[in-house]
């Protein structure tokens, strides 16, 4: 190798080391355990998914995922530091190592999975994009939106989905784009646009923010598939497995009828082999994930199973009052399905 090529080779090698520090910095799991705290990126404020309540406490289904991971890894669901992130900030925060986990109503797509250096670990909420309009317009379906001005959030899948939908149906629209969800809501409420588009679950969350929610309605059409789930950095299989199996444990617990209310009794008296494996009483336990044997028990005890979390954050037991729909367990006709713990 001649001197100039050798110099170029070492320059490229050093550059690669500088831009991929996580590949040489050890597992995120080790980092979180040594730090004693999980750094989790969430939405800046979306009711039902991640928002701060009147007592200053973070709430929402994405927030509960963070707490469940902390329960599994640290044995304490409270050992989480939440970082509110806009849609534009979220991927950079994860890529740079500012956060350990991104749990922020983020849609799983090919582009994101293959070009951002991140991995989706599962689906916490099966969603789809929809439309919210003022009842005064008298609209009944999305095909009546030709020529409408549409408020939306920048840096999301909503922009492309909207363009595809209107193009497919030979309709025109005027985009009105904002950087934060609160700005989108205010723009809609002030009359900057005729329509607000977002994932349908978000529309219900945004609707409750309006001064008079009854003046707005969500149209019935769903124009896209939006599987929402948490993300981790690529190249860290141990950490990806921990987050993935945290979700699976919550779904399996609901399927086995193990909840935060009966988990203590189940641990003491259950004879069901699947339940006993879930709770770390027999089988593989925590070794494969490099966690304590009671990792799943701690999730259910401190956070709850998937159904409990869904109902209190976005379901009928919450202000949003959303039906389970696609998020029902597979055995009841929904899509929520988890591999077995064995």
Beta bridge partners of 118: 233
Residue 10: is its pLDDT beyond 90? Answer: no
Q: Considering the domain boundaries, does residue 10 fall inside one?
A: no
Q: Give the angle subtended at the CA of 47 by the CAs of 43 and 51, to the nearest 5°.
A: 50
Number of domains the chain is built from: 2
* Confidence at 16, pLDDT banded by 50, 70, 90: very low
Q: Per-residue pLDDT tens for 313-336?
A: 999 999 898 999 999 999 999 999
The last residue of one of the domains, among 169, 193, 224, is: 224
**Which structure tokens are listed for 38?**
């999980």
Residue 15: is its pLDDT beyond 50? Answer: no
Q: Per-residue pLDDT tens for 122-145?
A: 999 999 999 999 999 999 999 999
Q: Considering the domain boundaries, does residue 1 fall inside one?
A: no
- The mean pLDDT of 204-218, rounded to a whole number, is 90
Q: 3-class DSSP state for residue 128?
A: coil
Q: Considering the domain boundaries, does residue 293 fall inside one?
A: yes
pLDDT value at position 116? 97
The last residue of one of the domains, among 169, 196, 224, is: 224
* Confidence at 22, pLDDT banded by 50, 70, 90: very low
Beta bridge partners of 131: 197
Residue 4: is its pLDDT beyond 70? Answer: no
Residues 30 and 119 in one domain: yes
pLDDT value at position 26? 67
The last residue of one of the domains, among 184, 207, 224, is: 224
pLDDT value at position 6? 44
Q: Which of 179-183, 260-264, 288-292 has the lowest mean pLDDT?
A: 179-183
Provide the residue range defining the domain that includes 141.
129-224
Q: How far apart are CA 79 and CA 36, in angstroms?
A: 7
Burial label, 172 (beta-carbon count in 10 A; 0-12, 13-18, 19+): exposed
Q: What is the CATH number of the domain that holds 121?
A: 3.40.190.10
pLDDT value at position 209? 86
Residues 103 and 150 in one domain: no
């Amino acid at each position: 190798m001649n001197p100039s090529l050798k110099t170029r080779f070492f320059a490229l090698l050093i550059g690669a080391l500088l831009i991929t520090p996580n590949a040489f910095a050890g597992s995120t799991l080790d980092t979180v355990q040594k730090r004693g705290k999980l750094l989790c990126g969430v939405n800046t404020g979306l009711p039902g998914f991640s928002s701060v309540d009147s007592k200053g406490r973070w709430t929402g289904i994405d927030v509960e995922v963070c707490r469940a991971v902390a329960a599994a890894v640290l044995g304490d669901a409270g050992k989480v530091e939440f970082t509110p992130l806009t849609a534009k900030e979220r991927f950079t925060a994860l890529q740079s190592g500012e956060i350990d986990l991104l749990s922020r109503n983020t849609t799983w797509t090919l582009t994101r999975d293959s070009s951002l250096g991140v991995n989706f670990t599962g689906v916490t909420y099966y969603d789809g994009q929809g439309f919210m309009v003022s009842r005064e317009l008298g609209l009944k379906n999305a095909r009546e939106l030709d020529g409408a001005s549409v408020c939306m959030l920048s840096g999301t899948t909503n922009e492309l989905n909207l363009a595809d939908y209107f193009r497919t149906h030979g309709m025109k629209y005027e985009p009105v784009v904002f950087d934060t969800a609160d700005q989108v809501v205010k723009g809609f409420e002030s009359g900057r646009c005729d329509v607000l588009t977002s994932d349908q679950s978000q529309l219900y969350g945004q609707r409750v923010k309006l001064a008079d929610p009854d003046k707005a309605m969500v149209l019935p059409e769903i124009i896209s598939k939006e599987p929402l789930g948490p993300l981790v950095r690529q190249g860290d299989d141990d950490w990806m497995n921990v987050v993935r199996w945290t979700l699976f444990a919550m779904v399996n617990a609901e399927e086995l009828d193990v909840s935060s209310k009966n988990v203590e009794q189940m641990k003491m008296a259950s004879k069901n082999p699947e339940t006993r494996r879930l709770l770390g009483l027999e089988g593989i336990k925590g070794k494969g994930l490099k966690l304590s044997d009671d990792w799943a028990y701690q999730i259910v005890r401190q956070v709850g199973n998937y159904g409990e979390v869904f109902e209190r954050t976005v379901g009928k037991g919450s202000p949003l009052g959303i039906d389970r729909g696609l998020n029902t367990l597979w055995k009841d006709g929904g899509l929520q399905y988890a591999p077995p713990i064995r």
